[in-house]
Amino acid sequence: MTTPAAATAGDATAGDATAGDATAGDATAGDATAGDATAGDATAERILANVASPATDDAFDPGAALDGLLGCVGMSGADAGGRVAFVGADPVVPSALRLGGGAAVALAAKSVGMAAVHRDRGGDGQDVTVDVRRAPHRLCPFYDRRWELVNGYPAASPAITSQALGFSFHRTRDDRWVMPLNPYPALRARAETFLGAPESGVADAIARWDAAELEEAASDVGIVMPMARTPGEWLATEQHAALAGTPPITLRRIGDAPPEPFPQRRRADLPLDGLRALGMGHVIAGAGTGRALALHGADVLNIWRPTEFEHDSTYVTANVGVRSATVDPHTADGAALLRGLLADADVFYANRRPGYLARLGLSAEEAAAVRPGIVHATNTLHGPVGPWAHRVGFDQSAGTLVGMMTLEGGSATDPTVTPRLSPILVVNDYIVSWLTAAGIAAALRRRAVEGGSWAVEVSLARAALWMLELGVLDLGYAREVAGTGERHAYPAPETFTAQTPLGHYQGVTDQVTMSATPGEYRTVLVPRGSGRPEWLPR
């Protein structure tokens, strides 16, 4: 595996971008219910202020944003023990979202968390530098099919034969829009049955529904058809009211256990060396948590069911560094094997349908009973609270719900505007992964001193709201400035290569330089489910 070059030192669920739109200055125009519903809600107040005054300059402080984010788990940028620096500034791509800044701050949060663990284990403080200009590449390394390659080719998703139930928006009877993102075979079949139409008839079938009714009916049968909302519309929902009091990263103690000081390390340059993480991650957000932990030295073992499907494009990006095994948790032998692995783990992570882990006996409290001292980390669409906590969805589902896609479509307030995807296909997934990894680092530090079992929860919707809290950009300004000059350039990402059982792999680094613990994937890429379900020697 080649060692990535250092980044140049230096510097993760939008108001109307067009000048002259009379509604751009009034965040609640067309969202009459937002004002009263969000009174006293600091998150809503920040978002409404941002969409009312989209940015047309570089006045964004990533260091302050980092401290605010890490404050959720009792940390700050100072915990790195050195200088935290950011190179460049948004816009680097023509988006209403702070894609560079948001990715860079989330990456810095994860990196500072690992640097703090390194210091707790006797290591020196270190400098952390994140390249804002390159960070959007790390949000979705595969989207432009150039940087993430196996044997010279980008991974594909041949099971997706049409975007009718993919990354497409469809107009409804009431002139609204939904995104019926059901990209996995079982979901797609269920969606076709629900609509009573094959993929070729999806648009016509959706056009016979009102959007809100379709969203509700689809969620009742476990499929994904969120209605595109403006930020103000989202902020007026009961689900937002439930999320409003939660931070981007939730860390809570779920049980008693004696303190567990960090063990001696074999590799002093890997903060998580000697620690074990058991996963049931898939797609990107959950699996990406495993990748983040593996980069910093953990032995990460992800479990797949025998009949489980995964797209090559998501497996190849999110499972770098992760060992992979197949276990059937629905059999007595498989369940016992999982409990045995859990009993010897330090971390458990998963992003499964709400209620699925509980059915396997792997909820946070149940896991803590099996392994007192466990750090149990989960990701869902909406988190564990609110009337929509049971709903399922993906990265783009969260963006559609909270208003990102209408903002990219050019309006903060018009719910009928044609929504658009971000120029970077995936925005929230890896943000969730990095926030989860930061929460895990904080939990491990607390476990070492005060003991206890801990739960870390990060949802796609809350991560998307955090992105909007960072500020939004005037779309006209973003289109004019992105890619210009050194500060707003969009250079090629830093990459690395390795020979793997799947062939020659080229991947994208985190676009972060850590002066003392640069990171290393000791396992780079293995066939899915191909390993033994056992731990490596500590």
User: Angle at the Cα of 180 (from 176 to 186), degrees rounded to 5?
Assistant: 160
**Percent of all residues in the chain with a pLDDT value above 70, rounded to a whole number:** 93
Phi, psi of 97 (to 5 degrees): -100, 155
Torsion of CA 25, 29, 32, 38, to 10 degrees: -20
pLDDT band at 159 (very low <50, low <70, confident <90, very high): confident
- Whether 61 and 200 share a structural domain: no
Cβ(429)–Cβ(436) below 8 Å? no
Amino acid at 96: A
Largest Cα separation within the chain, whole Å, is: 65
253 and 299 fall within a common domain:
yes
The tens digit of pLDDT for each residue in 23-49 reads 233 333 334 345 555 668 999 999 999
Same domain assignment for residues 210 and 252: no
Verify that 67 and 190 share a domain, yes or no.
no
Residue 356 lies in a domain: yes
DSSP assignment, residue 493? P
List, in order, residues 6 or more apart from 472 with CB less than 8 Å away. 14, 15, 50, 51, 54, 55, 96, 97, 98, 407
In a domain, 165, yes or no: no
Of 383, 392, 379, 397, nearest in space to 434 by CA: 379
In this prediction, residue 38 carries a pLDDT of 67
Q: Burial, 160: exposed, middle or buried (Cβ in 10 Å; 0-12, 13-18, 19+)? A: middle
Please indicate, yes or no, whether residues 425 and 351 belong to a single structural domain of this protein. Answer: yes
160 falls in which pLDDT band (50, 70, 90)?
Answer: confident
**pLDDT band (50, 70, 90) for residue 158:** confident
Encode pLDDT of 495-520 as tens digits: 999 999 999 999 999 999 999 999 99
Is residue 428 within 8 Å of residue 12, measured between CB atoms?
Answer: yes
Phi, psi of 407 (to 5 degrees): -65, -45
- Section 365-393 average pLDDT: 98
Residue 208: the pLDDT is 99
Are residues 135 and 279 both part of a single domain? yes
Residues 176 and 153 grouped into a single domain: no
> Are 183 and 243 part of one and the same domain?
no
Query: pTM of the full predicted structure?
Result: 0.93
Q: Do 279 and 256 share a structural domain?
A: yes
- To the nearest whole number, what is the mean pLDDT of the chain? 93
pLDDT at 163 over 80: yes
Alpha carbon dihedral 188, 191, 195, 200, in 10-degree steps, equals -20
Pair (84, 106) in one structural domain: yes
- The C-alpha atoms of residue 425 and residue 383 are separated, in whole angstroms, by 22
- Report the alpha-carbon distance of residue 188 to residue 164 in Å, rounded: 10
Burial of 535 (0-12, 13-18, 19+ CB in 10 A): middle
Q: How many domains does the chain have?
A: 2
Average pLDDT over residues 163-188: 97
User: Is there a single domain that holds both residue 244 and residue 386?
Assistant: yes
**Would 527 be classed as within a structural domain?**
no
Query: For 6, phi and psi rounded to 5 degrees?
Result: -70, 145
Q: Are residue 142 and residue 72 in the same domain, yes or no?
A: yes
Domain that holds residue 179: 170-223
| 7 inside domain | no
Residue 24 in any domain: the answer is no
